[in-house]
Chain A
Amino acid sequence: MAEGYTLNWGIVLITASLGVVAVGTMFLISYLMAPRRFSVIKDIPYECGIEPSPFRWSQIQIRYYVFAILFLIFDVEAVFLFPWVLIYLDSIPAVFYEMLIFIAILFFGVVYGWRKGVLQWR
């Protein structure tokens, strides 16, 4: 009998494969039952009533990446916060105050980015 770590992640694995199988079955039924008639005009990418422009993947503005980097910063912070919330009441006072200082530094980061206009979508 598996238990603990192996059991938990085994269940996650079983559930994931069940999800894949369920969706795969749906696709299979659709593949077998649905009509499929090829047509050059039908298969061109959708555009609002006109012919699509010849390039396929257009260039993307930098602003999306800026927010992705911001997300990375705060997500890493969340990873530090998760163990902290479980132990800070039972450990030495320094644990509590140090995390407050850490949050303050990160909050200063938000304020700095705000003043610099990074948070503005342009």
Chain B
Amino acid sequence: MNLQQVFMYSVGASLILGFLSLTVLFLTWLERKFLARLQMRMGPMRVGPYGTLQPLADAVKLIFKEDILPSWADRKVYWLAPLAVFVPTFLVWVTIPFARDLVLANLELGLFYVTAVSVLSILGLVMAGWGSANKWAILGGLRAAGQLVSYEIPLIMAILGVAMLTQSLNIIEVVDGQTRVANFIIQPLGFFIFFTAGLAELGRTPFDIHHAESEVVGGPFVEYSGAHWAVFYLAEYINTFTIAILTALLFLGGWRWPDMPLDGLSHSALSVAWLLLKAYLVVILIFWIRGTYPRLRIDQLMAFSWKVLVPLSFANIVLTGVVLYYDWHWSLLTVASLILMAGFFLSLTFYSGTAAERMTVSVHPARPEAISRRKMDL
């Protein structure tokens, strides 16, 4: 690489970083406003018109706040943990395209890269938990590892299903493959798995057991304050936007579906707007889910991943493979996915445990005597 290229790509990466920072500022405001309206409150109103300057005030406050280092902490691990969370979440954006020509590096193995890099931030959470030398933090860090690792499998499998449809791991080619019909129509099952597992990867309500305030009082972040905590916060919101934009790109057709008539520069501008609109719709959905559902228990959470999402994601791969291999029409895949999904959830509702346990999916209490009462472990 020569110096000119280094400079060019540094500028590109800086632009993405600036875009992400602005997005995070906007998202924090949007989330507070949206949740407030759901709960019939006003949300932030004081700083700026309709509270729009609130995120800036928060950012300034966090940077100028005292950064406490607990005396028992493992210093190096404690200080490095925010970095280990932030850098992988930022690295994912190397290969996420905003339009056909608007991408930093159009990696041929883009989807593989995204799955590989995004897992790395689990390490940061475990580091934060370990370094804090606080029992809540350790518990939260390990819960994070257990949860994120479990939901990584369905997420990867859903991404593989998309890659099968277009026979490519390049994100731009995946988007181009959706010109006629978007992937969420072809693969409703894959869309459901990806979105649910993505939500769990974010660690947002209802999947926020690793920093649940009423259980582990903030989890890995309990000892952090000031700028270091701000970096965790930043990474969380970047992750939210990453999952939203990946959902828009992989399943909602990106900038291609439905196809737009214009061409040239106006087409590019319209593409970006269209993609961001879809991404923000997904973001709103994520916030809405946060405002609606209560938190899952940890045994429910793990059971949901391994007993519902993993078998369903296997079925998704096999179904897609068979339909593509025998060259059947794609609508068959839609129908089969919907029937499978409905059948699986109905069977879970009717054949799992007692009436009280049927209220939630595939769950029973974490008491050993309740488990040994039944032969089947469903």
Residues of A within 8 A of B (CB): 1-2, 6-8, 10-12, 14-16, 18-20, 22-24, 26-27, 29-31, 33-37, 40, 42-48, 52-53, 56-58, 60, 63-64, 67-68, 70-71, 74-75, 78, 81-82, 85-86, 88-89, 96, 99-100, 103, 106-107, 110, 114-117, 119-122
Complex Cα–Cα for A13 and B331 (A): 43
- Interface stretch (choices B2-10, B48-56, B262-270): B2-10
**Selected contact of A18 from candidates B14, B132, B230, B311, CB within 8 Å:** B14
Residue in B1, B298, B303 whose CB lies within 8 Å of A10 = B1
A74 touches B153 (CB 8 A): yes
- Pair count A-B, CB < 8 A: 211
Q: Given known contacts A2-B5, A19-B86, A114-B377, is B227 in contact with A85 (CB within 8 Å)?
A: no
Instruction: Give the distance to chain A from B194, nearest Cβ to Cβ, in Å.
Output: 14
Contacts A7-B1, A58-B135, A67-B149 known; A119 to B303 CB distance under 8 Å? yes
Considering the complex, give the chain B residue whose CB is closest to the CB of A74.
Answer: B153
29 intermolecular pairs with C-beta atoms under 8 Å apart: A15-B9, A15-B13, A15-B91, A16-B90, A19-B17, A23-B82, A24-B83, A30-B228, A31-B67, A34-B66, A34-B67, A35-B66, A36-B67, A37-B66, A43-B70, A43-B71, A46-B134, A53-B135, A67-B302, A71-B152, A74-B153, A75-B152, A78-B153, A82-B112, A96-B325, A100-B318, A106-B314, A115-B376, A116-B377
Q: Report the minimum CB–CB distance from B144 to chain A (whole Å).
A: 10
> Chain A interface: which of B34-42, B161-169, B197-205, B286-294?
B161-169
A30 near B9 (CB under 8 angstroms)? no
Report which of A53, A57, A74, A117 forms a contact with B130, defined as CB distance below 8 A. A57
- Per the CB 8 Å criterion, the residue count for chain B at the interface is 84
Partner of B307, one of A64, A78, A119: A119
**Residues 301-353 (chain B) with a chain A CB within 8 angstroms:** 302-303, 306-307, 310-311, 314, 317-318, 321, 324-325
